Amino acid sequence: MRLFGIETEYGITRDDLEEVDPVVESMELVRAHLTASFERRWDYGGEDPHEDARGFRVSGLAQDKEEDEFAKADAHRPFSFHEMKSDLVLPNGARFYNDHTHPEYSTPECRTLKELLAQDRAGERIVQRAADRRNRSLGGAHVQLYKNNTDFHGHSYGCHDNYLVSRSIPFPRLVAGLLPFLVSRQVIAGAGKVGVEAQESGFVPGAYQLSQRADFMETELSVDTMHNRPILNTRDEPHADRGKYRRLHLIVGDANMCEYATALKVGTTMLVLDLIERGAAPSLELDQPVAAVKQLSRDADLKATVRQKNGRMLSGLEIQEQYYDAARRMLAGTDPESDWVLREWGETLRWLARDRSRLVGKLDWVTKQWLLETFVREERLGWDDPWLASLDLEYHNVDAARGLHRGLEAEGRAWRMTTEADVERALSAGPGDTRGGLRGLCVRRFSDQIVGMQWERIQFAGGVLRKALEMGDLFDPDEVKVCTGIFEAAASPAEALAAWTQRKDSRS
């Protein structure tokens, strides 16, 4: 039962204004994707971030207070909350909307790493094309977008990886198995960062570190995402049959430009979830996980060690090696994709220990460090020079004409799993074996008859429950393909739903 996706909040700037209103700019960017007027279709009724996976419901979140304050501040605006969100579901099954101060793109649900990379790259193209349209209306390339996690002024925005997990796995077992892995995952998936930053003290230039999100981790477990940010988010919002599934919502990770880093980040996490399900995860327990995240991030030489509760000291590489060894012993031969992840995971850990230059173009923190070291040497700068923060930011610019990573890719120096054909296909269609692709198909064929959408439901015009396509338990790839075929052949949603209902009734 392998299903995953990525939500990316993009940094946004506008260089022709002294003061930028990110709420308006993010809304205008999302609206620039449209060729017609905005129509609200996303149904927020199915979203409830107050449910905690530890078995209780929180009465309030830090973000609730912030949203109330935002609402007061936004009272003067000539648009409603939902108009501001401008929530769109795209023909590839993705969701594109304004997360108040950042444009956010959520991939459709994916079953393979190559599909995920293609859909993630499609998101980069979609947000950049919206920026191009917006800039044409402004008369210049004023709006710039960054696939990163910090503005270097004490603010962080997220890149969240999500996984469908069986609810039969006790949540405490997930926590025990995941925490040490997530603390150390930055050695392969960190985006790299110049300086140190905090919401309270702002940005302090200086030493290079592995991760952009590490500075902003504040607790081990929490249902919050905007304040008191946790290594492991406990939000219990499955977007699926609650009796069968969880959605593991991880906010600790960085946004990656390198396809290889994204593939390893998600692929290794899937293998660790497989280990946890089998009761075979390494028995590790860190003494202070939050301090460990920062400590490991701030040592780009990978020599720093963190204490376990048994007193033993381990480096980030050593923690990763324990997970890798367990996965190799237990999961080798499971399927070709798992074997690819195991092979590349092991090779990456070896090159990190011996010669990380072999990973330029594959891991973001290594690639960015190489670029910045070259610049520092040629320009004879110190690592506290503010120029480096600007270069750091430009590494993540998604504009092919300006982004430093995009330049490396154009030169053939960045590893790719996807082809341009893969990305172009992902712009117009979702995965054919997940409900994400089915959602996109309904948008393409029956957009004018859709009155409400959630991740797990599409409500068609008619106002009765039988007019809804329920997808809370539609995860079997063969069943998805059958349902997709029915909706492709039907002349109307009503005809498709009748045929799909008849099939389900005949099989029950």
In this structure, are strands 219-222 and 230-233 parallel, antiparallel, or unpaired? parallel
Are residues 338 and 484 both part of a single domain?
A: no
Residues in contact with 14: Cβ distance below 8 Å, sequence separation at least 6, in sequence order: 20, 25, 142, 143, 144
CA distance 147 to 190: 13
Provide the domain limits for residue 498: 434-507
Q: Which of 359, 394, 421 is the last residue of a domain?
A: 421
Residues in contact with 247: Cβ distance below 8 Å, sequence separation at least 6, in sequence order: 162, 163, 164, 165, 237, 238, 239, 240
CA distance 461 to 458: 10
Are residues 26 and 79 both part of a single domain?
A: yes
Mean pLDDT, residues 466-491? 95
Q: What's the whole-model pTM score?
A: 0.95
Looking at the domain assignment, is residue 429 inside a domain? no
Residue 59: pLDDT over 70: no
Band of the pLDDT at 67, cuts 50, 70, 90?
Answer: low
Looking at the domain assignment, is residue 428 inside a domain? no
More confident residue, 66 or 476: 476
Are residues 249 and 391 both part of a single domain?
A: yes
Q: What is the DSSP string of 244-269?
A: TEEEEEE-SPPP-SSHHHHHHHHHHH
The predicted structure's pLDDT at residue 71: 63
Catalytic site includes residue 99: yes
Burial of 40 (0-12, 13-18, 19+ CB in 10 A): middle
Residue 74: pLDDT over 80: no
CA distance 357 to 374: 13
Residue 188: pLDDT over 90: yes
Are residues 192 and 58 both part of a single domain?
A: yes
Are residues 498 and 410 both part of a single domain?
A: no
Residues in contact with 347: Cβ distance below 8 Å, sequence separation at least 6, in sequence order: none
The predicted structure's pLDDT at residue 85: 85
Looking at the domain assignment, is residue 10 inside a domain? yes
CA distance 155 to 295: 20
Are residues 208 and 293 both part of a single domain?
A: yes
* Nearest Cα residue to 293 out of 191, 183, 176: 183
| Helices of type H across 249-383 | 259-277, 289-297, 316-331, 336-354, 364-379
Mean pLDDT, residues 286-291? 97
CA distance 155 to 66: 14
Looking at the domain assignment, is residue 427 inside a domain? no
Q: Picking from 50-64, 149-163, 307-321, 399-413, which range would have the lowest pLDDT averaged per residue? A: 50-64
Residue 200: pLDDT over 70: no
The predicted structure's pLDDT at residue 347: 98
The domain that holds 342 is classified in CATH as 3.30.590
Mean pLDDT, residues 368-377? 96
Are residues 238 and 95 both part of a single domain?
A: yes
Calculate the average pLDDT of the chain: 92
For residue 104, give both structure tokens: 């956010």
Q: Name beta bridge partners: 143.
A: 14
Are residues 351 and 477 both part of a single domain?
A: no
Distances (CA, A) of 244 to 221, 247, 374: 22, 11, 51
Residue 64: pLDDT over 60: no
In terms of phi and psi (left: phi > 0; alpha: psi -120 to 50; beta: otherwise), the region of 199 is: alpha
The predicted structure's pLDDT at residue 73: 65
Looking at the domain assignment, is residue 426 inside a domain? no
The predicted structure's pLDDT at residue 209: 97
Looking at the domain assignment, is residue 377 inside a domain? yes
Q: What are phi and psi of 358, to 5 degrees?
A: -70, -10
Catalytic residue among 15, 48, 99, 384: 99
Are residues 276 and 180 both part of a single domain?
A: yes
Mean pLDDT, residues 58-68? 60
Are residues 440 and 354 both part of a single domain?
A: no
Are residues 413 and 326 both part of a single domain?
A: yes
Are residues 216 and 174 both part of a single domain?
A: yes
User: How many domains, the chain?
Assistant: 2
Residue that has been written with the tokens 């338990």 in this structure: 473
